[in-house]
A and B are shown apart, each in its own frame.
With several copies, the nearest count.
Chain A
Amino acid sequence: MTREAPEATQPGEEDLENLPGGAKAAVEAVLMVIDQPATEEELAAGLGLTVEKVSGLLAELQREYSGYTVKAPDMDQASHAGFGSSPRGFELRNIAGGWRIYSRTDFADIVGKYVLEGQTARLTQAALETLAVIAYRQPVSRARVSAIRGVNVDSVVRTLAQRGLIEDSGTDPESGAMLYRTTSYFLERMGIGSVAELPQLSPHLPGLDGIAEYYDAEGI
Chain B
Amino acid sequence: MAESKPGFEVRLANFTGPFDLLLGLIAKHQLDITEVALATVTDEFIKYIRNLQKLGGEWALDEASEFLVIAATLLDIKAARLLPAGEVEDDEDMALLEARDLLFARLLQYKAFKHVAGLLGESLHQEAMRFPRQVALEEHFAAMLPELVWKHTPEQFAALAETALRPKAPKPTEVGLAHLHGGNVSVKEQAEIIGLRLQRESPLTFRAMIADAESTLVVVARFLALLELFRDKAVSFDQLSPLADLAVHWTAGGRQWSADNLSEEFEEQL
Q: Do A and B bind each other?
A: yes
Q: State whether A141 touches B173 (Cβ < 8 A).
A: yes
**Closest-CB distance, A108 to chain B (whole angstroms):** 4
Flag whether A73 is at the interface (Cβ < 8 A).
Answer: no
CA distance in complex: A136, B129 (Å): 25
Flag whether A129 is at the interface (Cβ < 8 A).
Answer: yes
Flag whether B157 is at the interface (Cβ < 8 A).
Answer: yes
Flag whether A72 is at the interface (Cβ < 8 A).
Answer: no
Flag whether A220 is at the interface (Cβ < 8 A).
Answer: yes
Flag whether A75 is at the interface (Cβ < 8 A).
Answer: no
10 A-B pairs closest in CB distance: A108-B129, A132-B161, A205-B112, A199-B158, A150-B69, A218-B182, A204-B112, A132-B117, A129-B164, A128-B117
* Stretch of A7-15, A46-54, A56-64, A173-181 at the chain-chain interface: A173-181
Supposing A191-B154, A201-B162 touch, asked if A33 and B113 sit within 8 A by C-beta, the answer is no
Flag whether B197 is at the interface (Cβ < 8 A).
Answer: no
Q: Which residues of B contact A149 (CB under 8 A)?
A: 69, 110, 113, 164
Supposing A108-B129, A132-B160 touch, asked if A206 and B154 sit within 8 A by C-beta, the answer is no
Q: Looking at B134, B155, B164, B165, which has the most chain A CB atoms within 10 Å of its CB?
A: B164
Q: State whether B113 touches A190 (Cβ < 8 A).
A: no
Q: State whether B136 touches A101 (Cβ < 8 A).
A: no
Flag whether B204 is at the interface (Cβ < 8 A).
Answer: no
Q: State whether A163 touches B160 (Cβ < 8 A).
A: no
Supposing A151-B69, A162-B142, A220-B182 touch, asked if A198 and B176 sit within 8 A by C-beta, the answer is no
Q: State whether A188 touches B112 (Cβ < 8 A).
A: no
Q: State whether B132 touches A123 (Cβ < 8 A).
A: no
Q: Which residues of B contact A103 (CB under 8 A)?
A: 130-131, 133, 138
Flag whether B145 is at the interface (Cβ < 8 A).
Answer: yes
Within 8 A of B (CB), among A86-125: 90-91, 93, 100-105, 108, 111-112, 115-116, 118-125
Q: State whether A201 touches B112 (Cβ < 8 A).
A: yes
Q: Looking at B68, B157, B161, which has the most chain A CB atoms within 10 Å of its CB?
A: B161
CA distance in complex: A208, B126 (Å): 30
Could you list 18 A-B pairs, sorted by A, with CB under 8 Å?
A: A33-B138, A90-B133, A101-B132, A105-B129, A119-B145, A122-B148, A132-B157, A133-B113, A133-B165, A147-B181, A148-B109, A148-B165, A158-B134, A162-B145, A192-B154, A199-B154, A208-B109, A220-B180
CA distance in complex: A25, B247 (Å): 80
Additional 11 contacts, C-beta under 8 A, given A108-B130, A148-B106: A33-B138, A100-B135, A103-B131, A104-B130, A115-B137, A129-B117, A188-B132, A199-B155, A201-B165, A206-B108, A206-B167
Q: State whether B132 touches A175 (Cβ < 8 A).
A: no
**Closest-CB distance, B232 to chain A (whole angstroms):** 26
Supposing A33-B137, A201-B116, A218-B217 touch, asked if A190 and B124 sit within 8 A by C-beta, the answer is yes
How many A residues are at the interface, by size bracket? 35 or more
Q: State whether B164 touches A143 (Cβ < 8 A).
A: no
Q: Which residues of B contact A161 (CB under 8 A)?
A: 136
Q: State whether A177 touches B141 (Cβ < 8 A).
A: no
CA distance in complex: A18, B114 (Å): 38
Q: Which residue of B lies closest to A116 (CB)?
A: B144
Flag whether B200 is at the interface (Cβ < 8 A).
Answer: no
What sequence of 0s and 1s flags, for each residue 185-220 of chain A, a beta carbon within 8 Å of any chain B beta carbon?
A: 000111110000111111011111011001001111
Q: State whether A121 touches B120 (Cβ < 8 A).
A: no
Flag whether B62 is at the interface (Cβ < 8 A).
Answer: yes
Flag whether B253 is at the interface (Cβ < 8 A).
Answer: no
Flag whether A5 is at the interface (Cβ < 8 A).
Answer: no
CA distance in complex: A195, B219 (Å): 39
**Closest-CB distance, B255 to chain A (whole angstroms):** 36
Within 8 A of B (CB), among A150-179: 150-151, 158, 161-163, 165, 171, 175-178
**Closest-CB distance, A193 to chain B (whole angstroms):** 11
Q: State whether B129 touches A131 (Cβ < 8 A).
A: no
Q: Which residues of B contact A112 (CB under 8 A)?
A: 131, 140-141, 144
Q: Looking at A31, A115, A188, which has the most chain B CB atoms within 10 Å of its CB?
A: A115
CA distance in complex: A147, B132 (Å): 24
CA distance in complex: A142, B154 (Å): 23
Q: Which residues of A contact B150 (CB under 8 A)?
A: 189-190
Q: State whether B164 touches A133 (Cβ < 8 A).
A: yes
CA distance in complex: A53, B130 (Å): 25
Flag whether A1 is at the interface (Cβ < 8 A).
Answer: no
CA distance in complex: A158, B168 (Å): 11
Flag whether A74 is at the interface (Cβ < 8 A).
Answer: no
Out of B65, B105, B112, B140, which one reaches A108, CB within 8 Å?
B140
